[in-house]
Structure 1
Amino acid sequence: MKNFLSFAAFTAGLLLSVSASAQEQATTASSNGSYRPIPNSDIMFRKTIWRAVDLREKQNKPMFSEGKEISRVILDAVKRGELQAYKNDSLTTTYTPSEVSANMSYAEASAGLSEEEKAAGFSDDAAGDDWGAPKKTVKGKKVAAAPKKPVAPPSYEYRPKDIYQMELKEDMIFDKKRSRMYHDIKAVTLLVPSTLGANTAGIEKTIGCFKYSDLVRVFRANPDKAIWFNSQNDAQHKNLADAFELWLFNSYIVKVSNPNDSRLDEIYGGQQQGILASQQAASDLIEYEYNLWSF
């Protein structure tokens, strides 16, 4: 009887230990943004991939419908304090809501004077000529007043429709227990597009990076706003979380994990070569999965 009780206690302790280990492993994986973390013991193959998503594309328009743009849903959640933004997709350093607002703002460029106005005698410096400088009287004589401190140009936030560039960081994982490949999204980044007219810098600018697990929580909590628009049937709109789960969008690969952490266009020496390399990388991953089933 004592031996039986000792064996039962040992078995229970072992089960609790395994359960605690699995829970700890899942919690650690969840901290990097994964919504459904896969235990390391079940992973046979993993490759980290970065994908660009242009929300203006026809296949992506349902995530970018008027008034319910995914960029609007995300940024409104940040302003309400429901969503934490990070500085990069390593998801370690955070932004404050005010910093996110600054990242998605631009200053109106000063028009200045035309060449004709300058030739006519006008000047940008109010104290440098008699045209722009206000006058004041000193001992019966009118003299130019001291120049006023320059006023900074007004700042405006980009419209949600202007934020049409996203980037996904994901792990492509082959789960040997379930014998299938998974797209395990870790982070979603909103970017100010380089092609946007108001972006005078001409380069992509990061607004903020977000844990995918946090985004799923926000999308589920706001079903009336986080909508993937079904143009064929208004009764069958989907939640944005379901759209990601079902992969109802188009994307292209811009980076595959490598020792130098370089993007494809940097590795192959140009944007056009990067596009060709992106197509090749996608084909290689499909072929790798096919070979797993062939052998």
Structure 2
Amino acid sequence: MKKSTKAILWAGLSMSLFFSLFLTSFSKAQEYGSYVDDGYNHNSVRPVHESHIMYQKSLWHRVALKEKQNCPFFATGNEITGLIIDATKLGIIRPYQNDSLTTRMSQEQFLENIKIPSEQVQYNDIEYDIISQDNQWDNWTAGTEGWENQDTDQKTEAQEFYANQLYTLEIKTNVFFDKQRSRMINDIQTISIILPAEMNPATGLEKTIATFSYKELVQNLFRDNPSAIYYNERNSQAHRNLEEAFDLMLANGTLIKYNNARDEHIMDMYDDMRHSLIMAQNYQANMIEYESNLWEN
């Protein structure tokens, strides 16, 4: 009886230890966006088992929301960038560091990324901080002997970019051939908000503010949300939901990268901008031709 009791106790202890380790690993997987490898891409809105995928490429497109074709994503008051930023502040969705979707971005870092960077200007060996779009004239009054600062101890709160200033998106898509359905599938993985170079005077370079899982955007923000609209200029009663707009591939973007051994952008592969643009268009045309040729033999 003693041996059986010990065996039962050891078995119970082993099971409890197993479940505790399982729950710990699962919670970490939830935190960092990784899942158990069961043959499915769990970052897909509609996962397809890898055994059904005959061919796959990952493509990155740069979407300029100010282009005429993309304006419905960027209607005044309904900018997709503003919708995503507001939802992130409320905790409805959580950002990632990059499009690998392995590391979450903290709320503090996200809020720091959307702040307008200050410019330091020096006059007569005195350094002043000037924040873009806000000259802070309210803190200055005209005195008898010139301009005097009335509140030197008051600190200026950093302002954030407006939604219409963040007009660039980067979309990562897995394009694969599903042999069960016998068709090419465009499976959007991530959407990144890009700070345009002209809005970043400190470096003059583009900057990724944050990356978001497209699946999380659809499930937590786009679906059944009357504010997540693709604006229809011709009929205000027939606006489309953003999920439907992306499913229909209504966003017009320029191909900037496809998965390659060196992880290079197309611009880095060729000598000049014009040549890289032509080669990007050729690559997309070749993919369409590849899909068409699958049915010829």
| TM-score bin (small chain) | 0.7 to 0.9
Query: 1:272: how far off?
Result: 2.4
Q: Helix, strand or coil for the counterpart of 1:203?
A: coil
In the alignment, is the contact (CA less than 8 A) between 2:223 and 2:241 conserved in 1?
no
Q: Does 1:275 align with 2:277?
A: yes
- How far off is 1:80 after superposition? 0.5
> What is residue 9 of structure 2 aligned with on the other side?
none
Q: Does 1:90 align with 2:100?
A: yes
2:241 pairs with 1:239: yes
Distance 2:185 2:37 in 1: 21
Superposition deviation, residue 155 in structure 1: 2.2
Is residue 2:62 matched to residue 1:60? no
Matched pairs, number: 239
Instruction: Write out per-residue CA displacement over residues 119-152 of structure 1, whole angstroms, 9 at most, x where no aligned residue.
Output: xxxx4179xxxxxxxxxxxxxxxxxxxxxx9998
- Once the two structures are TM-superposed, the CA of residue 106 in structure 1 deviates from its matched residue by 2.2
Structure 1 residue 98: deviation in Å?
Answer: 1.8
SS at match of 2:76: coil
- In the other structure, the counterpart of 2:41 is 29
Runs of at least 5 residues in structure 1 that lack an aligned partner in the other structure:
1-22, 127-148
The percentage of aligned residue pairs carrying the same residue is: 33
Could you list the structure 1 runs, at least 4 aligned residues long, displaced by more than 6 angstroms after superposition: 149-153
- The separation in 2 between residues aligned to 1:101 and 1:288, in whole angstroms, is 43
Distance 1:257 1:199 in 2: 31
- Cα 1:150–1:258, aligned 2, differ >3 Å: closer, same or farther? farther
* Alignment partners' CA distance in 2, 1:90 and 1:150: 44
Alpha-carbon RMSD: 2.3
2:167 is aligned with 1:164: yes
Matched, 1:287 2:289: yes
Q: Please state how far the C-alpha of 1:176 moved relative to its aligned partner.
A: 1.0
More displaced stretch, 73-82 vs 212-221: 212-221
Letter in 2 for 1:261: D
Structure 2: any 5+ residue segments left out of the alignment?
1-35, 129-151
Q: 2:198 aligns with which of 195, 203, 217?
A: 195
Contact 1:108–1:154 under 8 Å retained in 2:
no
Contact 1:227 1:237 in 2 (8 A): yes
Q: Note the alpha carbon deviations across 1:172-228, whole angstroms, 9 max, x for none.
A: 1111111111101111111101133x5431111111111110010133456221110
Which has more radius of gyration?
1
| TM-score of the pair, normalised by structure 2 | 0.75
- Pair 1:80-2:85 in alignment: no
Question: Does the 8 A contact of 1:171 with 1:185 survive in 2?
Answer: yes
